[in-house]
Chain A
Amino acid sequence: MKNFMKVSPLRLLDMSAEKELGHGNLGVLISRAGVGKTACLVHIAFDRIFSGEALVHVSVEETPDKVASYYNVIFFDLIKALELDREDELRLMIERNRMILSYMKGSFSVDRLRQSLVNLKQNLSFVPQTLIIDGLDFEGAPRQLFEQLKELSAEFGTETWLSALSHRHKTEVNDRGIPYPCHQIDDLFDVIVHLAPSTDGIYLRLLKDRDHPISAGAQVRLDPNTFLVMAE
């Protein structure tokens, strides 16, 4: 899987001070609708799964079938793009190391998620090192929810990635350069990245790296079809 690791979107973190999000920490991916937040999160998931880590994918609006089909489609594209020949073995790795938890129509709460993680640990000995949370409504969620998520990450020692939806018409940016909808809660996130389309690809840019300064070129260009890092 070395080929994939070399071109995974997470290569962006090679440009960060600690080269990773780190366990117990929160990271967020901001982008407008339709740019590819879920696809990018699934690539992050593949990066962790293929490194042998267990992962829980939490979806706040999609059914497990739909989430699984995202993984299938992206995996299929990955196999084609990288001409991987261990398809069955990798598929098995995904099946064994990934758990999908869906919370439909307002069912999501940190307490419920905590209970599910406890159930997974106690009953299946499934202890995730990474948590992906997709579809959380940043606009409607109170600050307290993100504080609870930070506590949860620390409690379970997970590297937690979230996705946040921004809007073209909402242009607020705080003085640290963090845009809406994370501009008032950026202190709770250790790493913030921004996904934005451009004429020559999709750019994944580092906006926050804990308290470390960010260099101007801290970004990777992704192929809009595969979401893999393109050669410069």
Chain B
Amino acid sequence: MKEDIEKLRNIGISAHIDSGKTTLTERILYYTKRIGVIHEVKGKDGVGAKMDSMELEKERGITISSAATHCLWKGHRINIIDTPGHVDFTIEVERALRVLDGAILILCAVGGVQSQSITVDRQMRRYGVPRIAFINKCDRFGANPYRVLNQLRERLGMDPVLLQLPIGLEGDFRGVVDLVKMKALYFQGPHGEDIREEEIPDEMLEEASAYREQLLDAATMYSDELAEAVLEGQETEEMIHRALRMGTLARTLTPVLIGSAYKNVGVQPVLDAVNHYLPSPTEIENTALDLDKDEAEVVLKADPGLPVVALAFKLEVTPYGQLTYMRIYQGSIGKGDELVITRNRKKIRVGRIVRMHADEMEDITRGYAGDIVALFGVECNTGDTFTDGSVNYSMSSMHVPEPVISLTVKAKDNKSQENLAKALGRFSREDPTFRTYVDQETGETIISGMGELHLDVYVERMKREYRADVEIGIPQVSYREAITQRAEFNYTHKKQTGGAGQYGRVAGYMEPAKEGAYEFVDSIKGGVIPTEFIPAVDKGFQSCLVKGPLLGYPVLGIRIVINDGQHHPVDSSELAFRQAAIGAFKQAYMKAKPIVLEPIMRVSVECPSEFQGNVMGSINQRRGIILSSAEDGTFTTIEAEVPLAEMFGYATVLRSLTQGKAEFTMEFAKYSKAPESVVEELKKAKSKSQEGRK
């Protein structure tokens, strides 16, 4: 199996929205003969691109779920995860990066390095994913791949190395000069499938030689063999590929290719570059935590002979049942095998195992280390680790951002209520940033997520896929509470109502925690609270964090220290100490001067420079703080922090302020103290809703 693993590539395709990810994937599938016909994203044929398998995606022309597929290219098997470009769906991007070994970063030759490219790049760095870049849309008016190359250097701090030069640009874009082969490549045939290799046009020879020299300069940094060969003028294509590969794997060099996926120019060289420069599973170090050894880190080896370790990174509901996308890190998984879910030690039997090709599948009997497969009928959550039971490993947890927006959903009839419940259960298992709960006071079902579009897509899916007829409320910001100073508590819970009594005293203090998380410190001395009741005290405090006494929002950043207490040999129990902790929390909380926190978003607006003033004004009106403004040519990028509550409907406002020429992205930055005016409004709204219920 060793040879196979070395010729395996698990790659993601990531970029800013509308950079042409799905179009590129469609070409890749066509050239690798996975599909026979090319359909455009918003094509007139009404079929839609292959990777956009969900009905909604086809309709909107954007990719929401990352669909997995695989193809064969020159003896290598390439598993591709097509990832969404909108920032609301970055959990999908993060999940994909978690399980992939390499990525293609697509950039628009006109738009260049845009805000979402920066976000995606940050995520790739977080997961240490080596990447190659593809500057797409060179046929468009205003295309300038050289400017994009500079932006890669300046905005993303990369060391980009151009492997190709464009022959013509914009409407005249005809092909590329391959700087490794030193040949001109033209893509002919109805879909660019025939590559014609010719001599470099005379007028480009000088430029090509200069850029090849730059390429060799960069590549020789990684190979003494190449450096010596270059000195003697004896360098070969293979030597250059090997050196570039080393730089790419070290993540200190980024090979850059250019083309136009839509015009079928330059796609096959991207596939060659995937084979040449991106790593096989054996070249990437993946680790897991050994739960039997106090979560000690263990390095996994892509060896089919070792115990199984696999990660479920995506769940999807299909007409045939739940489909679990899985990356096998170690060992192999075959039909009939028994697997154990680390989280709950539940055993499952592998029924059907398939390899995915967008919404079609191909049955296989066994998947091996390094591969991405999908299993049918496995009940699990996203992020679950699977083993064969001989080890108790868990893959390190994925970075999951807190949801920042919520809204109420209400089924219009009984049938819809049933379907809604099914949908909510499915979505929250598929997507960790989608959460749902029932508000105990109002009885309303609340869904929360990462942005308006994120929730919008789920509401649409409830209607279309689950036929749940629902009404939705106005989107609400997810506020939080936090204390600002230390406060003492000393509370005795005592109850004597016949039979066994309840007794427990808890004393100590609460104070703001620096890291924003809940922290419980047991400083009890001399056993005044017996050890067996300490977890109950902890649980009692934790139960109070769900709804803060100030306005009922979850409490963030609190450290609770217990240093005294009392118990009764007969009447003390877990329940009594839990109640004592709840009483203690209520006693101290208001003394600790709680405040309301609101989510602050990091907003990035890109606009032509003449609209800088308008955009600044619009952010200022929204209680935003402008952090910076960067001009690059005729475009300006304004970075700001703005309360989420003020961002509803901003897209429409921005469009009208800038004649539709600006775009913005936002992601959660931090929780900050809400101003008094906002808190007053929230108080009024709360008392109004309480009165309404009476």
Q: Which residues of A contact B (CB under 8 A)?
A: 63-64, 67-68, 95-96, 99-105, 107-108, 112, 115-116, 118-120, 122-124, 126
Contact = CB atoms under 8 A, between A and B. Distances in A.
Interface stretch (B103-111, B376-384, B624-632): B624-632
A69 to B, nearest CB: 11
B625 A119 contact: no
B154 interface: yes
A100 B632 contact: no
Contacts of B154: 63, 104-105
B125 interface: no
Interface in B596-622: 609, 612-614, 616-617, 620
Given A95-B625, A104-B154, A119-B612, A64 B630 contact: yes
Nearest to B612: A119
A63 B627 CA distance: 12
Contacts of A63: 154-155, 630
A64 B620 contact: no
Given A63-B155, A124-B626, A103 B616 contact: no
Contact of B632 (A67, A104, A116, A122): A104
Contact of B628 (A68, A105, A119): A68
Contact of B631 (A67, A104, A120, A126): A104
B613 A118 contact: yes
11 contacts: A95-B627, A100-B628, A101-B628, A102-B631, A107-B633, A116-B631, A119-B612, A122-B617, A123-B617, A123-B620, A124-B617
Contacts of B613: 115, 118-119, 122-123
A100 B616 contact: no
Contact of B629 (A100, A105, A122): A100
Contact of B612 (A68, A103, A115, A126): A115
B620 to A, nearest CB: 5
A63 B628 CA distance: 9
Given A104-B630, A112-B631, 10 more contacts: A64-B630, A99-B627, A100-B629, A101-B630, A105-B150, A108-B631, A120-B616, A123-B616, A123-B617, A124-B616
Contacts of B614: 123
* B-side interface mostly: mixed
B639 interface: yes
A107 B147 CA distance: 13
Contact of A99 (B617, B620, B628, B631): B628
Sorting the interface of chain B by its residue count into under 10, 10 to 19, 20 to 34 or 35 or more gives 20 to 34
A101 B626 contact: no
Contacts of B639: 64
Contacts of A100: 627-629
Interface in B231-269: none
A99 B626 contact: yes
B609 A112 contact: yes
Nearest to B618: A123
Given A63-B154, A105-B150, A105-B154, A119 B616 contact: yes
A73 to B, nearest CB: 16
Contacts of A95: 625, 627
B620 A107 contact: no
A126 B624 CA distance: 13
Interface string B421-440: 00000000000000000000
B627 A102 contact: no
Contacts of B150: 105
Interface in B626-675: 626-633, 639
A92 to B, nearest CB: 10
A124 B613 CA distance: 9
A103 B631 contact: yes
A46 B532 CA distance: 53
Q: Which 8 A-B pairs have the closest CB atoms?
A: A64-B628, A123-B617, A119-B613, A100-B628, A102-B630, A123-B616, A104-B632, A107-B631
A100 B612 CA distance: 14
B629 A116 contact: yes
A85 to B, nearest CB: 14
Nearest to B617: A123
Nearest to B624: A124
Nearest to A57: B628
Contacts of A122: 613, 617
Nearest to B150: A105
B674 to A, nearest CB: 15
Contacts of B630: 63-64, 101-104
Interface string B583-601: 0000000000000000000
A107 B612 contact: no
A107 B617 CA distance: 22
Contacts of A124: 616-617, 620, 626
A78 B27 CA distance: 54
A105 B633 contact: yes
Contacts of A120: 616
A108 B155 CA distance: 17
Nearest to B151: A104
B482 to A, nearest CB: 13
A129 to B, nearest CB: 18
A105 B153 CA distance: 12
Nearest to A66: B157
A119 B610 CA distance: 10
Interface string B143-169: 000000010001100000000000000
A95 to B, nearest CB: 6
A79 to B, nearest CB: 14
Contacts of B620: 123-124
Interface centre among B154, B614, B630 (most CB of A within 10 A): B630
B111 to A, nearest CB: 15
Contacts of B617: 122-124
B632 A107 contact: yes
A108 B154 CA distance: 16
A4 to B, nearest CB: 23
A99 B620 CA distance: 14
A122 B633 CA distance: 23
